[in-house]
């Protein structure tokens, strides 16, 4: 029921209420949560004052540890301590084999499309691990803000495909979070700098984190953020700078032989990190190294020397930036703004080279570790309805084309990349044999022409096609991509009106059943609690529906409905209210909501048409001809 509330000037449908909403930067190395308080967006610290939560989860026999403590346990308990799972999320078992050499964990042989890692607490998926991180951030936010969160905005890399986005959203579902929107990380950074309000043009977002480098070229045009190109290096970051310094110290101090000593190396890496940070402000860093034998070594690293150590890494990021610009089809001179994201952009040489390459000073005013979370918080605040006068609208595009497999292993594109979302496309299919009752469809993502070069997203079967001669059935399959970039498929046989059933088997993500099972498993509560929760959710939904309907009917029921229609809707409405008041069984309420939806279907359509006209003219409803 689209009781799309037609808000007339000066006639708010409900009194304004402030909703708690946060933005979450679910990062490869660290994660953050931020919110808007007193009109200021800020990240929220934990009880120890730490804003950054290391994205590390340690599984134990009797629970999980997330964050710094887990990070410190990584050495002693590598098999049960999972880090950088963002690299695995939304990936298939086959994908992992390509990177498995670097992964210390044991993977379970499984029928599921999602890889499962064996831990002491049982098999876990990257989705569940991400959910553990989200749960900690949720709890931090709710304790700090003193209430339940209405919704969150979670950021994802611009290059994330449908499967990776879906997996991220699934993780949020497991963490019991209501996702307002998945937002591209570079877009979030641009919002943090208020660029969505300002000039139109090309924006470059240079994101150098601990272990990854991403460059994104965006075009902002009247509130539409188009991702023109992305690039980078998934194995390049500040950790490489630390390594380079540590290697330098080993060579200079003549202690290469101690490189196998774990405790020594751990101290050395910390020393390297400290020196790097020191060199952000100072021209030199003095180094005081205690050797394994107890003796000590003193040295000094100058900024010039440090610059030489990391020059090659920085150069690679510039090369990747150049390539991204070319992919985007824009020149350096076209770039209006450059934004720095990620802790490693504090390094002076990085800033210098970026400024030199783009021919302009990059934005560094906002803490580069926090800028993405802050942008997400600002967007969450708008979506929560806390800024009712905010007229800005953020339109995203689909980053990769969606297509289906056709004869000969070729991909036919259904929705091409950079199409503004949400988008729906219908495609007609037919049968090849007489009496054929099912058709298999394979959905792929990517720009390549061959199925083998594309990412498989899902396979599904259309069943229940009425028996006809070959080529006679006309099956319309609708591909719908929502504002988060997530795909939904439905199908109908149009000549007979038979709704063909669609069974989607995700190639990477979890099926609805799997999510449900995980939700059950992750609940500490008894089953009754869960049912009570589900019932409460249905009741809340029912109230929302009734409230929206009442507001709508009060506004224009007399204009849009005849007496008979009105009665039919009211009967369904009253029935629903009765059930809710009696705390009836969940499924009964669900059915009553559906029933009311059906009863008010055409009313909703009429209102929708009216509101289109109204939006276009700015006139009031009653100025239009009565229907």
Partner 1 sequence: MSVDLNSNFFELFSLPAGFEIDNSALSESYRVLQREFHPDRFANADSTSRRQAMQMSAHINEAFETLKNPLLLSRYLLELQGISMNQETDTTSDAGFLMQQMEFREQMDDVENQPDPLEAADQLRDAVQSENASLLQQFRSEYEQNNYDAARQTWLKLQFYDRLLEQLSLLEARLEDELLN
**List of residues contacting partner 1 (CB under 8 A):** 1-5, 19, 150-151, 180-181, 222-223, 323, 326, 382-385, 391, 393-395, 419-424, 480, 482-483, 541, 544-545, 548, 593, 597, 601-602, 604-605, 608-609, 611-612, 615-617
Give whichever of 300 and 601 is closer to partner 1, judged by the CB atom.
Answer: 601
- Reduce the secondary structure of 118-157 to three states and give it as a string: EECCEEECHHHHHHHHHHHHHHHHHHHHCCCCCEEEEEEC
Distance CA 180, CA 436 (A): 42
Give yes or no: 176 in active site.
Answer: no
Give yes or no: 556 in active site.
Answer: no
* Rounded least distance, CB 429 to partner 1, Å: 11
What are φ and ψ of residue 433, in 5° steps?
-125, 155
Helices 162-174 and 512-522: crossing angle in degrees, nearest 10, is: 30
* Rounded least distance, CB 435 to partner 1, Å: 23
The one catalytic residue among 25, 132, 233, 381: 25
**164: how many CB neighbours lie within 10 A of its CB?**
22
Run of H or E residues at 53: strand 53-54
Distance CA 214, CA 216 (A): 7
Give whichever of 159 and 241 is closer to partner 1, judged by the CB atom.
Answer: 159
The one catalytic residue among 86, 135, 138, 353: 86
C-alpha distances (whole Å) from 448 to each of 157, 209, 227, 413 are 21, 30, 18, 10
* Rounded least distance, CB 608 to partner 1, Å: 6
Give yes or no: 185 in active site.
Answer: yes
Strands 63-66 and 410-415: unpaired
Give whichever of 228 and 394 is closer to partner 1, judged by the CB atom.
Answer: 394
- Reduce the secondary structure of 357-390 to three states and give it as a string: HHCCCCECCCCCCCHHHHHHHHHHHHHCCCCCCC
The one catalytic residue among 132, 207, 405, 493: 207
The one catalytic residue among 161, 162, 170, 185: 185
Q: What is the DSSP letter of 226?
A: E
Give yes or no: 207 in active site.
Answer: yes
* Rounded least distance, CB 385 to partner 1, Å: 6
Run of H or E residues at 290: strand 284-290
* Rounded least distance, CB 601 to partner 1, Å: 5
**77: how many CB neighbours lie within 10 A of its CB?**
16
407-421 b/e (C-beta count within 10 Å ≥ 16 → b): eeeebeebbeeeeeb
Give whichever of 270 and 488 is closer to partner 1, judged by the CB atom.
Answer: 488
Give whichever of 355 and 604 is closer to partner 1, judged by the CB atom.
Answer: 604
* Rounded least distance, CB 380 to partner 1, Å: 9
Q: Which residue has the tokens 């209405």?
A: 150
* Rounded least distance, CB 184 to partner 1, Å: 14
- Reduce the secondary structure of 557-613 to three states and give it as a string: HHHHCCHHHHHHHHHHHHHHHHHHHCCCCHHHHHHHHHHHHHHCHHHHHHHHHHHHH
Give whichever of 56 and 227 is closer to partner 1, judged by the CB atom.
Answer: 227
Please answer whether residues 378 and 36 qualify as being in contact, where contact means their C-beta atoms are separated by less than 8 angstroms: yes
Give whichever of 514 and 541 is closer to partner 1, judged by the CB atom.
Answer: 541
Q: Which long-range contacts (CB under 8 A, 24 or more apart) does 535-539 make?
A: 535/583, 535/585, 535/586, 535/589, 538/586, 538/589, 538/590, 538/593, 539/580, 539/583, 539/589
* Rounded least distance, CB 482 to partner 1, Å: 5
Run of H or E residues at 540: helix 527-560
Give whichever of 93 and 153 is closer to partner 1, judged by the CB atom.
Answer: 153
88: exposed, middle or buried (Cβ count in 10 Å: 0-12, 13-18, 19+): buried
Give whichever of 83 and 600 is closer to partner 1, judged by the CB atom.
Answer: 600
* Rounded least distance, CB 547 to partner 1, Å: 9
Q: List active site positions.
A: 25, 86, 185, 207
């Amino acid at each position: 029921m689209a009781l799309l509330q037609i808000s007339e000037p000066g006639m708010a449908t409900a009194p304004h209420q402030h909703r708690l909403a946060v933005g979450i930067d679910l990062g490869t190395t660290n994660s953050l949560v931020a919110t808007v308080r007193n009109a200021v967006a800020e990240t929220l610290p934990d009880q120890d004052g730490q804003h950054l939560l290391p994205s590390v989860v340690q599984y134990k026999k009797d629970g999980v540890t997330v964050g710094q403590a887990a990070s410190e346990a990584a050495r002693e308990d590598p098999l049960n301590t999972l880090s950088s799972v963002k690299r695995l999320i939304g990936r298939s078992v086959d994908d992992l084999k390509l990177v498995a050499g670097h992964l210390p964990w044991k993977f379970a042989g499984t029928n599921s499309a999602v890889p499962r890692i064996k831990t002491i607490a049982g098999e876990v998926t990257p989705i569940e691990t991400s959910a553990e991180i989200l749960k900690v951030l949720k709890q931090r936010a709710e304790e700090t803000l003193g209430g339940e969160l209405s919704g969150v905005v979670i950021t994802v890399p611009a290059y994330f495909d449908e499967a990776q986005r879906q997996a991220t959203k699934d993780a949020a579902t497991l963490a019991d979070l209501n996702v307002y929107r998945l937002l591209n990380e570079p877009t979030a950074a641009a919002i943090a700098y208020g660029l969505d309000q300002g000039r139109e043009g090309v924006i470059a977002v240079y994101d150098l984190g601990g272990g990854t480098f991403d460059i994104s070229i965006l075009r902002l045009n009247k509130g539409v953020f188009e991702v023109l190109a992305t690039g980078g290096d998934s194995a390049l970051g500040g950790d490489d700078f630390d390594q380079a310094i540590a290697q330098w110290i080993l060579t200079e101090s003549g202690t290469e032989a101690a490189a196998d000593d774990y405790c020594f190396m751990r101290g050395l890496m910390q020393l390297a990190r400290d020196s790097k940070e020191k060199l952000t402000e100072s021209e030199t860093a003095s180094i005081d190294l205690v050797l394994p034998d107890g003796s000590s070594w003193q040295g000094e690293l100058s900024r010039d020397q440090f610059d030489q150590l990391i020059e090659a890494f920085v150069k690679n990021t510039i090369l990747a930036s150049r390539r991204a610009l070319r992919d985007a089809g824009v020149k350096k001179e076209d770039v209006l703004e450059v934004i720095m994201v990620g802790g490693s952009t504090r390094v002076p040489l990085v800033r210098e080279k970026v400024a030199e390459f783009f021919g302009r000073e990059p934005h560094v005013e906002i803490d580069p570790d926090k800028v993405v979370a802050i942008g997400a918080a600002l967007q969450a605040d708008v979506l929560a309805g806390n800024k009712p006068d905010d007229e800005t609208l953020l339109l995203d595009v689909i980053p990769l084309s969606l297509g289906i497999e056709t004869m000969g292993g070729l991909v036919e594109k259904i929705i091409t990349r950079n199409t503004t979302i949400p988008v729906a496309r219908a495609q007609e299919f037919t049968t090849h044999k007489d009496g054929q009752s099912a058709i298999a469809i394979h959905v792929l993502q990517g720009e390549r022409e061959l199925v083998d070069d594309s990412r498989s997203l899902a396979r599904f079967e259309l069943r229940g096609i009425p028996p006809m001669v070959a080529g006679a059935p006309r099956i319309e399959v609708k591909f719908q991509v929502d504002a988060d970039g997530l795909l939904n498929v439905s199908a109908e046989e149009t000549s007979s009106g038979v709704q063909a059933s669609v069974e989607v088997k995700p190639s990477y993500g979890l099926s609805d059943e799997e999510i449900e099972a995980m939700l059950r498993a992750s609940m500490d509560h008894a089953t009754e609690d869960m049912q009570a929760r589900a019932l409460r959710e249905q009741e809340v939904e029912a109230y929302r529906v009734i409230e929206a309907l009442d507001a709508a009917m009060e506004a224009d029921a007399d204009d849009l409905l005849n007496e008979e229609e009105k009665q039919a809707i009211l009967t369904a409405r009253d029935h629903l209210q009765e059930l809710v008041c009696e705390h009836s069984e969940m499924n009964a309420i669900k059915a009553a909501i559906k029933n009311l939806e059906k009863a008010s279907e055409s009313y909703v359509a009429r209102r929708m048409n009216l509101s289109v006209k109204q939006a276009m003219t700015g006139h009031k409803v009653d100025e239009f001809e009565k229907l």
